[in-house]
């Protein structure tokens, strides 16, 4: 492990040449750039802004111990996972946002981050992990299914049979909800 990784479970090996650490408030500007750039223009400028607003600095200040950053040796950000332990549901951990640099996709990096988080959650007495995604994000839906998450029933299904929670995050902000038992 590298500096800043005390207390991080060893679950999920990272590809060679990468270092893992917990984020800090000073990482916020780099995450904001990644949130704008790594999704290939999905949703245009409005989509980039929506992603940026979903990861305010407070996540890096108050949930750093349950979140991770992955960097190359030169400090270039390669991936991140923002997660926390639910204060309301003592058996639940929550993955709020995950990103992998486009060049690092399909390298196992995302899976390694998820497994790290699963291990951390399990070590802290949690028995399930929850997360959400947008119904239009088919890659995310497929990825979470491959990672062992199941979709939770919604108030309707889309044309592909995916359960959708209408207006989950406000008017017109529908979501697909997932849960994975640990």
CA dihedral 93, 32, 113, 120 (to 10 degrees): -40
Total-model pTM: 0.90
> Are 48 and 14 contained in the same domain?
yes
Give the CATH number for residue 91: 3.40.630.30
Q: How many domains does the chain have?
A: 2
Reported as a single tens digit per residue, the pLDDT across 80-137 is: 999 999 999 999 999 999 999 999 888 889 999 999 999 999 999 999 999 999 999 9
> Are 87 and 150 contained in the same domain?
no
Q: How many whole angstroms from its chain centre is CA 33?
A: 16
CB 69 within 8 A of CB 48: no
Q: How many whole angstroms from its chain centre is CA 94?
A: 9
Token readout for 104 is 């690092």
Domain assignment of residue 60, given as a range = 1-126
The whole-angstrom separation of Cα 109 and Cα 123 is 21
pLDDT at 10: 55
SS3 label, residue 174: coil
């Amino acid at each position: 492990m590298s500096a800043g990784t005390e207390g991080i479970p060893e679950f999920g090996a990272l590809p060679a040449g990468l270092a893992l650490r917990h984020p800090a408030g000073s990482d916020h500007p780099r995450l904001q750039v990644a949130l704008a750039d790594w999704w290939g223009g999905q949703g245009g400028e409005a989509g980039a802004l929506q992603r940026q607003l979903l990861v305010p600095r407070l996540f890096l200040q108050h949930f750093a111990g349950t979140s991770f950053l992955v960097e190359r040796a030169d400090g270039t950000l390669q991936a991140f996972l923002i997660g926390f332990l639910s204060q309301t549901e003592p058996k639940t951990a929550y993955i709020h946002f995950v990103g992998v640099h486009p060049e690092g996709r399909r390298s196992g990096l995302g899976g390694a981050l998820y497994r790290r988080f699963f291990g951390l959650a399990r070590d802290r007495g949690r028995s399930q992990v929850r997360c959400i995604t947008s119904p239009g994000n088919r890659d995310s839906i497929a990825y979470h299914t491959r990672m062992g998450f199941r979709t939770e029933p919604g108030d309707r299904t889309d044309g592909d049979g995916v359960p959708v929670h209408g207006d989950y995050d406000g008017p017109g902000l529908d979501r697909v909800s997932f849960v994975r038992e640990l």
